[in-house]
Structure 1
Amino acid sequence: MPASPSRLTAARLRPYLGECGYGPGLIEANLRLAQHSPAALVAFAHAPFDSRSACIAVIDGFTDPLQDAVACRPLGAPVILVCFPDRLQWWTQGTTRTELRESVPASQIGQFFEQRRKWFAPEAIYRAKTLGRFDKNFQLEFVDLGLMPLVEAEAGRTLERIVERAVLGTKSRLGWRDVSLEQGHWLLKSNFWLLAAKILRDKGVPAFAGVNLEDLDQVYHRLAKHYGAAAPVEVGTKQKREALRESARQLSQVSPLRLVSTEALAYLYENALITRETRAELATHSTPTYLVDYVIGKLRPWIEEIETERRRVFEPACGHAAFLLAAMRLLGELLPSQMSTPGSRHRYLRERLWGCDIDSFALEIARLCLTLADVPNPNGWGLRGQDMFAGHVLADGAREAAIVLSNPPFTNFSRAERSGLAAAQAEAQRVNKAAEMLWRIVTNLQPGAVFGVILPQGLLHSQDARTLREFLAKDFEIAEICLFPDKVFTFSDAESVAVLGRRLRAGRRATRPIKYRRIREVDVERFKQAYEVTNEVEVSPSRFCPENGWDFLVPDLEEVWEFCRRHIKFRDVADIGQGLIFRSRNDPLFPRKGIAQADRRQKGFLKGFARLRETLETHGLPDTCWLNLHPSVIRRPVRGTTTGIPQLLLNYAPVSRGPWRLKAFMDRKGHPVTSRFLVIRPK
């Protein structure tokens, strides 16, 4: 270790960082995130330099070290070192707090770094940030697992505000009120290309060094060349040019975007760049970064077993290429040292990643993301604008790939889509698009190839996907089935499931237990931060068999169901049914001045139960009201009009979204009840 400096500064810590594993090519000096933020010496795990790869930030302390350390949070580095002439302060960056961990005299700096060399190593901090969320072996006590996702989301929101301000400003300057689809696309694309040029300039890409954003023709020409786009953005009229120049002027004043990660761009795509019409038409639901990281992380052990030259990745319905980006990072990490030079890495990855989508604007985001992840190289990635169901796109992609990753549309084929595919001799065999995609993929994968897909939960048990599940059960090893609630996707309410599998060699059967995990709505945030699940069980592959229709759905609290299976059924000893159903007031048969129920006593009405209070506990009874049992106001009596017989009442609608959804109440007097209750009476 170098000798301890007599007067400590951030610059003098560079040799100590080098001893921890940060070579000259991994350290950036004088890095500022905003005009008034402290200049930082930042050590990265590897290229590309962004908030995901940032490990340690070193700054000079002047007045308030806490304020300076907090200002470094957008860097994404969990370790902040603040230098004073006579001492070093080690601060840790967290999701909610920035804390002083240790203060070290300048004379003991060498010993400080020597003792923490393994902790501070690039691969140690990077793995703690990325892999620590699902593998405790990589966790470090001073690395907050929720920091990286939080920083990326904050960066995404910043980009969202920038783009929205630019688009709305351009629209206002043009005097446009009602915007056509074509105008909306032009507004988004023209301003997004300006943002892309700024990001590439801020990241030091040579082709954009010193570029003037207000020189629209030059900016769009350079970007088209860098992207490999067919043509640059067409500026159009003089009025449009002036409107865009003002956007460019404002964008030039935005703080440097040097550390923007591709994951932040994914947030931007989902929240600002995709129109409501496109989302509805293409059934788009952008894959959250935390879910992408989870799938890739869980598949990592299998991917490591695949020979380096065979690691080819295919992402159908790639959108903004979230899975391709994560796979790029992983494949780059797994390269042997002789292939990890920038040139070799670049060539290797270009030959092994490709995706397709029918959304042309999503592919633009994908090109930018892949280009940013491969700075400073220009675009050349295998992104194709095509319908994955046309021709042999999926079959060919699956045969060539050893790794298939996808979050396909969850919707069913429309009649027009089915007719179009049939006419093109690519007839869909299934009703659901996700089921059709996965069928075409898995039937063409080679032995040893792996897949990780996000699907609608209905495919676990639907008749439409039965033969698909049978094929998976017979020919694949399933590592995990992980169920998610709705609201996982920003603009979709679909309940989803992640399925991870690997194709077996002919004649072999899966024997390892399958991890069956479930995340309830209340636990989504815990899953996002640390991949903690609501519950987890292991199931034998043999349970998926013809006897249960190849059903992949494992019920919550299955041990309770199995215990109850050995006992007599309710139907053997009790009569069960819904409470009475009143006629609607809009029903022509409803009496003109009729009353179905009342809070106060009415002549001829009986005291009963009409609704269930959310806070009611099972040792009590629902609030009583007065019910009219005259046949003229009742559409169906069902089990609700019988009185005087002791009964057990259950809520008809679930009281929660968890496994415990029914409350039981003992009604010893036998009141009449409405359809909001289930009635259980002894036979």
Structure 2
Amino acid sequence: MSAGYRQEAVLSDYAFADVLAAETTTRTVSLAAFTQTPASYRSSALAVVEAGPENPQDLVSAYRALCAPVLFVIEGDQVSTWQVKGEPPDTLLEKTHIDQLPALFEKNREQWEPDAIHRAKSIGAINPAYQLDFVDIGLLPAIEGETHTKLERLLEGMLHSIQEFPQDSVDPQLLFPLAFRLLAVKVLRDRGHAEAQQWTPDDVGELLRGIEAFYGLGALLENAGAPQPELLSAAWDHLSSGISFANISSEDLALVYENVLVTAETRKHFGTHTTPRQLAEYAVARLELSRFPPDELLVYEPFAGAAPFLVSALRHMRDTLPRDWSDSQRHEFLIQHIAGDEIDSFAREVAMLSLILADYPNRNGWSIGRHDLFAESVLDSRLENRNIVVCNPPFQDFEDLERERYPITQRFFSKPLAVLDATLDRHPLALAFVLPRSFILNKKFARARKRVEQLYADIELVALPDNLFRESRIESALLIARGRRNGNVRETVLRSTEVFRHGRDEFLKSGKVTTQRVLERPMPDVPSGNLWIPPLGAVWEQLSELPRLDEFLTAHRGIEWQSNQSQRWSQEPQTGYRLGLHSAHQFRQFVLKEPVWLDCREPGLRGNAIRREWDNPKLITNAVRVSQHAWRLAACLDTKGLVCSQQFIGIWPRSPLSVTELLAFAAILNGPVANGFLSTHAQGWGVRISSLREIPIPQPLPVRAGELVREYCSLLSAGSISGRSAQKAADLLTQIDAAVLDAYDLPLRVERELLDYFRDENRPIAHDWPHWAENALVPGLTLAEHITHELESQGGWVHKVFTPLPDGEADALREYGE
């Protein structure tokens, strides 16, 4: 095999783990060529197998886990060349006589050479300029996802074996480095490392001493509280009998090691945090480090934790280094160009061991600095000369004691804002930051967003679901900025990316996002800081000329207490108490909760909300989101004069409205336009009154919707909703939505985009309700057209309009078009 592959990168009888098989399976190819060493599925390029009795398609599919984009199948004196894809069927590219192989390689030399395939596999999915027709961009993510799944299961089993030690027999701080040593032993043995082959495979003590000598690590078994070697036999047996690590990327081992072995207990005990491996990988991949000369890059991760960004950066930078460099040359280069800091000793050790794993087959040489980065001038000095900054900073605000200790708190209340601002002061070539979700739109971060816009021409914001992090339910976002401006760059490319809750697992497995919007715009003289492209842009453009809710209704938050709200209500009337709504928990659209008695004595209240006209007819809606994503509002009519707590918003008409008109406004607030507007224009758990006031209102008001709401509420109040009554309620709700949408008069395509936005979302209502698409969306018709049977009322207009032309007229039109 030629085409420019180094001798040590072409391996005979290469065995690898089939991570796509249900059971632990090892397969072997006659010959495999890799773009670089050490060999792994990430660097596999070409492979040769002998034909067997099975169908050629099945044979190629059986070797998919090798992740070689081109597979040659030898059948007697014939050679078939196959393109291997992420999903079957694979593609037969050509078939030739074996004597013609030299000519075949010569014809495909440029495409099959190592650098071309390596670039296509590693960055082709991000940069189309490096894509090759025969390299399926879905192959690598498919193998990567299954590899991580199998590795996680294997490591979790080993961890379970270790955790079964008697609690008083092992120092818990030793468990993590112990797991690393066993994992590193398996890496060296499965890859056939000469030194590791000399260690007795069933003597755990000898294996541990061998790996410690190899990496220059401390003698773990000599520590007080270390387990006896015989206690480790079960863990080693489980690990050593698992899938082979021979074809698995060392970076994958490092990232899975950190994610699996840094458990919730260790995070709580040692105070370390973790970043999902796929989030770090997505961020570093989007930085496109390959665009820069390698010797110019100086990557830095402050608050590194277990250093997931550095592990990803290590792989991406190594991919850019000259192919003829040895492993030791790459190692020496990388340790000079990658650095991180972490104050926690446990997390720092995790980071160092992860980098060692990722840097196989090199010996140790990695270190993570120990610095209190919030101390005066420390972060500034550590950022000096570092031009790629990747970070998941602490999300909290500074505490009182920290505000006394750190001068930086005189300028910043928020820790992530302080870190980001210090980084922007250094004008790095590119940066990737995990930040609170509020960074996207919140005014608190407006200045930082303006600085980012001023400094960078290519900016991506990724809205992440609150269930992305295993140990936290905080909403977060990812900021990726690159393309540092010079005087000639006056355009800005914005990317607004989202990973929905239902897309979490797919993102963590393959890095696939749910949706992405791209906009290119001129750079204004004064940066606006508006970096987020709201979803449903076509909807808001269509409705931009409509009046806003604030022109018709005035909204105010409910009453607040100076002490704990939970103690300010009662089931029984008391002096100074008034009937009202206390908790928005389980609040439902159109349904007024059973009221309780609220403490309305003014000495215990904060603000003047109690002086609002609570006795007057009004709408009440939640002040805290009622769902995780698209559905934000649950509004209902109140004619009983109820008072509301701060968990609700009262909405009064600016001029007198009938009950039917108020119900029409309730239909609007509970409909897809209002909820879509709030979910795309405001972040955070609260419903912002400023955003509520900007909801577009159709003209004229859909009074028919109000009449339908009256009928709907009457049905709900009649008793239990199930069976036929539930179906009738669902049908009525669809009719209400149709009446509201008809008033907005959106084009069919735009309306369908809006309704699709709510697919798979749970609506906060009092009964089962299917998405409109399940029974009310008909191709070519708006929701209102379908509901009101306009197709029938217009006498089959579709068939009249689209009656086929007579043959002669059709032929004439065809000739004219040609």
Structure 1 unpaired stretches of 5+ = 1-14, 599-607, 615-621
Q: In structure 2, the residue corresponding to 1:318 is in which secondary structure?
A: coil
Give the 3 Å change call, closer, same or farther, for CA 497–238 of structure 1 in structure 2: closer
CA distance in 2, matches of 1:412, 1:395: 19
CA distance in 1, matches of 2:558, 2:430: 53
Q: Which aligned pairs between 1:46-445 and structure 2 lie closer than 5 A?
A: 46-64=36-54, 65-97=56-88, 99-102=90-93, 104-107=95-98, 109-110=100-101, 111-172=103-164, 174-176=165-167, 183-232=171-220, 234=222, 240-269=228-257, 271-279=259-267, 282=271, 284-289=273-278, 292-300=281-289, 303-304=292-293, 309-335=295-321, 340-390=325-375, 392-419=377-404, 421-422=405-406, 427=409, 429-445=411-427
CA contact (8 A) 1:278 1:284 kept: no
Equivalent in the alignment of 2:668: 650
Give the 3 Å change call, closer, same or farther, for CA 73–434 of structure 1 in structure 2: farther
CA distance in 2, matches of 1:310, 1:301: 11
CA contact (8 A) 1:196 1:368 kept: no
Give the 3 Å change call, closer, same or farther, for CA 531–58 of structure 1 in structure 2: farther
CA contact (8 A) 1:32 1:39 kept: yes
Q: Deviations over 1:613-644 (max 9, x none)?
A: x9xxxxxxx9xx9x995558999985599524
CA contact (8 A) 2:45 2:68 kept: yes
CA distance in 1, matches of 2:10, 2:512: 29
CA distance in 2, matches of 1:396, 1:246: 47
**How far 1:127 sits from its partner (Å)?**
1.6
Q: In structure 1, the residue corresponding to 2:230 is in which secondary structure?
A: helix
Equivalent in the alignment of 1:618: none
Q: Deviations over 1:373-399 (max 9, x none)?
A: 443321112422444334544222321
Select between 197-206 and 649-658 the one with higher mean Cα deviation.
Answer: 649-658
CA contact (8 A) 2:498 2:516 kept: yes
**How far 1:500 sits from its partner (Å)?**
0.9
**How far 1:83 sits from its partner (Å)?**
2.3
**How far 1:255 sits from its partner (Å)?**
3.6
Give the 3 Å change call, closer, same or farther, for CA 237–353 of structure 1 in structure 2: closer
**How far 1:325 sits from its partner (Å)?**
3.4
Give the 3 Å change call, closer, same or farther, for CA 502–254 of structure 1 in structure 2: same
Give the 3 Å change call, closer, same or farther, for CA 406–529 of structure 1 in structure 2: closer
How many residues end up aligned between the 2 structures?
A: 621
Q: 1:499 aligns with which of 469, 480, 486?
A: 480
Question: Which residue identity does 2:308 align to in structure 1?
Answer: A
CA distance in 2, matches of 1:487, 1:266: 25
TM-score normalized with structure 2 length = 0.64
| 2:416 paired with 1:459 | no
Equivalent in the alignment of 2:773: none
CA contact (8 A) 1:483 1:519 kept: yes
CA distance in 1, matches of 2:340, 2:88: 40
Q: In structure 1, the residue corresponding to 2:365 is in which secondary structure?
A: coil
RMSD: 4.7
Give the 3 Å change call, closer, same or farther, for CA 556–98 of structure 1 in structure 2: closer
Equivalent in the alignment of 2:33: 43
Give the 3 Å change call, closer, same or farther, for CA 106–460 of structure 1 in structure 2: same
**How far 1:290 sits from its partner (Å)?**
6.3
Q: Deviations over 1:540-581 (max 9, x none)?
A: 332764xx6x45445445576567656654444x33669999
Structure 2 unpaired stretches of 5+ = 18-23, 560-567, 580-590, 595-618, 628-633, 683-694, 717-732, 744-818
CA distance in 1, matches of 2:385, 2:557: 59
Equivalent in the alignment of 2:495: 516
Q: Deviations over 1:261-318 (max 9, x none)?
A: 13422552454211214546757341433653554444436523xxx54422212233
Question: Which residue identity does 2:161 align to in structure 1?
Answer: G
Give the 3 Å change call, closer, same or farther, for CA 469–519 of structure 1 in structure 2: closer
| 2:496 paired with 1:480 | no
**How far 1:79 sits from its partner (Å)?**
2.3
Give the 3 Å change call, closer, same or farther, for CA 148–556 of structure 1 in structure 2: same
Question: Which residue identity does 2:298 align to in structure 1?
Answer: R
CA contact (8 A) 1:190 1:233 kept: no
CA contact (8 A) 1:51 1:260 kept: yes
CA contact (8 A) 2:289 2:317 kept: no
CA contact (8 A) 2:283 2:432 kept: no
Give the 3 Å change call, closer, same or farther, for CA 570–273 of structure 1 in structure 2: same
Q: Deviations over 1:448-472 (max 9, x none)?
A: x432333233224445434434444
Q: 2:572 aligns with which of 585, 588, 612?
A: 588
Equivalent in the alignment of 1:24: 7
Q: Deviations over 1:217-274 (max 9, x none)?
A: 4433343444444553557679743220232234333342122213422552454211
**How far 1:359 sits from its partner (Å)?**
4.7
Give the 3 Å change call, closer, same or farther, for CA 219–319 of structure 1 in structure 2: farther
**How far 1:159 sits from its partner (Å)?**
2.1
Equivalent in the alignment of 1:575: 553
TM-score normalized with structure 1 length = 0.76
Select between 393-402 and 489-498 the one with higher mean Cα deviation.
Answer: 489-498
Give the 3 Å change call, closer, same or farther, for CA 116–294 of structure 1 in structure 2: farther
Question: Which residue identity does 1:46 align to in structure 2?
Answer: Q
Equivalent in the alignment of 1:3: none
CA distance in 1, matches of 2:286, 2:70: 23
Q: In structure 1, the residue corresponding to 2:200 is in which secondary structure?
A: coil
Q: In structure 2, the residue corresponding to 1:145 is in which secondary structure?
A: coil
**How far 1:168 sits from its partner (Å)?**
1.8
Question: Which residue identity does 1:28 align to in structure 2?
Answer: L
Q: In structure 2, the residue corresponding to 1:542 is in which secondary structure?
A: coil
Give the 3 Å change call, closer, same or farther, for CA 384–233 of structure 1 in structure 2: farther
Q: In structure 2, the residue corresponding to 1:534 is in which secondary structure?
A: strand
Equivalent in the alignment of 1:605: none
Q: In structure 1, the residue corresponding to 2:186 is in which secondary structure?
A: helix
Question: Which residue identity does 2:434 align to in structure 1?
Answer: I
Question: Which residue identity does 1:122 align to in structure 2?
Answer: P
CA contact (8 A) 2:204 2:230 kept: no
Question: Which residue identity does 1:99 align to in structure 2?
Answer: D
Q: In structure 1, the residue corresponding to 2:384 is in which secondary structure?
A: helix
Give the 3 Å change call, closer, same or farther, for CA 193–92 of structure 1 in structure 2: same
**How far 1:120 sits from its partner (Å)?**
2.2
